[in-house]
């Protein structure tokens, strides 16, 4: 088990890479660090690897600080985002490098190189130098070099980010299976929401050096802690509509600036909502929680279709409502044109409510409304 205790990392005087991160990596879990570029994901891995020292805070392994343990004694295997291949060695020698450095016998080295290169589909490239490989092939070599040896923890820094879609899908599945086979502890960084949700036992969402939320994929998707996580996890991301609360009869209605009702919740469900004047209140929806309504539906909001994204099995319509934009999932067969005016029906009580970007409630639908 690895623990980051209030780990802070500053580069120079001004650039803060990580802000007081508290994070536990459990044994044999697949932990995904998910965040936009520049969020501090690589710094976090480098700190776990011992390459980078935190400015303050502590890193523990099974309760013992490892800050003073050099990388070569940490038993961590890492795949670097920019590959970091030994360009003076062939692919086979690159894969064998961590094994030979640990004095593993020739026969076993050969056998493992063969197996890993087979899994990653680079068996035919063993004699080539990295300079003669494509980006995707190099990335597979980098990944292979990391997973070829048993390690206490595997740190994979965007290891499939530069593969083409088909290969990414395949390697992702292989990785997940491999991690389960080896009962390995894996920390995996990614900028893809789909990857984070598909692979992680738990997902840590990192933004600008801050840990926004740590939890199971379903929690992140259904109960995001704040507007950032909501807008970053899931594809398409959650949409928001700015609203104002109107209290009456033990309920709170949320209406748009035009006075159109969007949601209505029981007052106790929004007890966390404070009365601060001028605070920004938003109602959030997943694209599958809203639908195109009949024109006659008086409670529906009118909007204009800005963009239609055809995913094949369904379409995502981006509908502009006032200053906001809402993604709506519609069946693939629906005929819908850009510029068309449509009515959008909201679930009223199955909404995510945010005040000043912080989640207030994730109301679950109640029967009979």
Would you tell me which residues interact with another protein (CB under 8 A)? 46, 49-51, 70-72, 74, 76-78, 80-88, 97-98, 101-102, 129-133, 135, 138, 145, 162
How far the first Cα of the chain sits from its last, in Å, is 47
CA 315 from chain centre, in angstroms, equals 23
Q: How far is the CB of 141 from another protein (least distance, A)?
A: 10
Positive/negative CA dihedral, 291, 222, 37, 201 = negative
Q: Which is nearer to another protein, 76 or 230 (CB)?
A: 76
User: 217 φ, ψ to 5°?
Assistant: -50, -40
For residues 245 and 253, the answer to whether their CB atoms sit within 8 Å is yes
In angstroms, give the least distance from the CB of 33 to another protein. 18
**For residues 30 and 60, what is the distance between their CA atoms, to the nearest angstrom?**
18
Spatial CA neighbour of 190 closest among 179, 200, 175: 200
State the minimum distance, in angstroms, from the CB of residue 94 to another protein: 10
CB of 263 to another protein, least distance (A): 46
Beta carbon of residue 163, minimum distance to another protein (angstroms, whole number): 12
Specify the residue, 87 or 271, whose C-beta has the smaller distance to another protein: 87
Which residue, 134 or 364, has its beta carbon nearer to another protein? 134
Q: In terms of CB distance, is 33 or 211 closer to another protein?
A: 33
What is the nearest approach in angstroms of another protein to the Cβ of residue 267?
Answer: 54
Task: Find out whether the peptide bond into 136 is cis, omega within 30 degrees of 0.
Answer: no
Nearer to another protein, 113 or 203 (CB): 113
Closest to another protein by CB, 84 vs 316, is: 84
CA distance 351 to 256: 15
Of 130 and 303, the one with the shorter C-beta distance to another protein is 130
Query: Residue 68, Cβ neighbours under 10 Å: how many?
Result: 8
For residue 283, which phi and psi values (nearest 5 degrees)? -105, 135
| Residue 124: how many other CB atoms lie within 10 Å | 9
CB of 129 to another protein, least distance (A): 6
Alpha-carbon torsion, ordered 31, 37, 42, 45, to 10 deg: -10
């Amino acid at each position: 088990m690895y623990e980051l205790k209030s780990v802070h990392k500053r580069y120079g005087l001004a650039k803060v890479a990580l802000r007081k991160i508290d994070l536990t990596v459990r044994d044999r879990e697949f932990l995904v660090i998910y965040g936009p570029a520049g969020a501090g994901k690589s710094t976090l891995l480098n700190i776990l690897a011992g390459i980078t020292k935190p400015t303050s805070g502590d890193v523990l392994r099974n309760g013992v600080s490892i800050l003073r343990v050099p990388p070569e004694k940490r038993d961590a295997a890492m795949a670097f985002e920019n590959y970091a291949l030994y360009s003076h060695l062939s692919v086979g020698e690159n894969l064998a490098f961590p094994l030979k450095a640990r004095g593993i016998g020739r026969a076993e080295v050969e056998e493992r190189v063969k197996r890993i290169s087979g899994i990653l589909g680079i068996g035919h490239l063993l004699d080539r130098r990295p300079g003669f490989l494509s980006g995707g092939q190099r990335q597979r070599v980098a990944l292979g070099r990391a997973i070829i040896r048993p390690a206490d923890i595997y740190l994979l820094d965007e290891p499939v980010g530069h593969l083409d879609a088909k290969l990414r899908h395949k390697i992702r599945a292989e990785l997940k299976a491999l991690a389960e086979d080896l009962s390995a502890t894996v920390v995996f960084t990614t900028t893809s929401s789909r990857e984070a949700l598909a692979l992680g036992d738990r997902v840590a969402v990192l933004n600008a050096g801050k840990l926004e939320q740590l939890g199971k994929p379903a929690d992140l998707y259904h109960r995001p802690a704040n507007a950032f996580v909501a807008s970053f996890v899931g594809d398409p991301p959650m949409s928001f509509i700015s609203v104002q609360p109107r209290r009456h009869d033990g309920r709170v209605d949320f209406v748009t600036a035009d006075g159109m009702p969007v949601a209505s919740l029981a007052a106790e469900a929004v007890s966390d909502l404070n009365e601060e004047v001028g605070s920004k209140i938003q109602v959030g929806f997943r694209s599958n929680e809203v639908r195109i309504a009949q024109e006659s539906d008086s409670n529906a909001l009118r909007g204009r279709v800005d963009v239609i994204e055809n995913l094949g099995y369904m379409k995502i319509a981006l509908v502009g409502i006032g200053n906001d934009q809402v993604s709506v999932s519609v069946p693939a067969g629906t005929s819908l044109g850009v510029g068309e005016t449509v009515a959008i029906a909201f679930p009223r009580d199955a909404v995510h409510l945010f005040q000043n970007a912080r989640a207030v409630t994730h109301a679950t639908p109640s029967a009979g409304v």
